[in-house]
Amino acid sequence: MALKKLDELIEDFSLFEDWEERYAYLIECGRQLPPMVESLKTEGAIVKGCTSRVWLVAERRPKGRFHFIADSDAQIVRGLIYLLLCAYQDKTPAEIAGYDIESAFERLGLYQHLSPNRRNGFFAMMEKIRTLASTSPDRP
């Protein structure tokens, strides 16, 4: 999966005039996210959500980089996951901890999805990634 940089996506999103264009693009981003193989969708990989399911598997790559495989049964959530991976994929714990995801999502016009009250599992997934990164033993 060739991920765009989140900054490029923010530029794309800034061109949109209304929510419909933003959401249509988000849905398109969701289509770019490769589906997770069924065997990885174990109970342990489920991130607690309410209205939709999110699965997340984290692998460690050389130099302590995190590689994530994630999926959801909801398309818009898949789009959000795609955006999140644009920021976090194959990054070191320090890079993940240092990235200002709030401000990025604010510029995307999708800030409301970072609220813990959105019970679609996306927020919980983001929290899980950040916890993984911040508790990583090799974090400088």
Catalytic positions, written as ranges = 50
Residue with tokens 């999966």: 1
Residue with tokens 């981003």: 29
Applying the rule CB under 8 A, the residues between 79 and 118 that interact with other proteins are none
In our burial notation (b when 16+ CB lie closer than 10 A, e otherwise), range 56-95 reads: bbbeeeeebebebbbbbebbbbbbbbbbbbbbbbebbbee
Residues 86, 106: Cα–Cα separation, whole Å: 15
Side chain identity at residue 118, one-letter code: R
Least distance to other proteins, CB of residue 50, Å: 5
The answer to whether 128 contacts other proteins (rule: CB under 8 A) is no
CB closer to other proteins, 31 vs 139: 31
The answer to whether 23 contacts other proteins (rule: CB under 8 A) is yes
From the list 67-75, 82-90, 100-108, 128-136, the region that binds other proteins by CB under 8 A is: 67-75
Least distance to other proteins, CB of residue 32, Å: 16
Binding site for other proteins (CB under 8 A): 19-20, 23-24, 27, 50-53, 73-77, 119-120
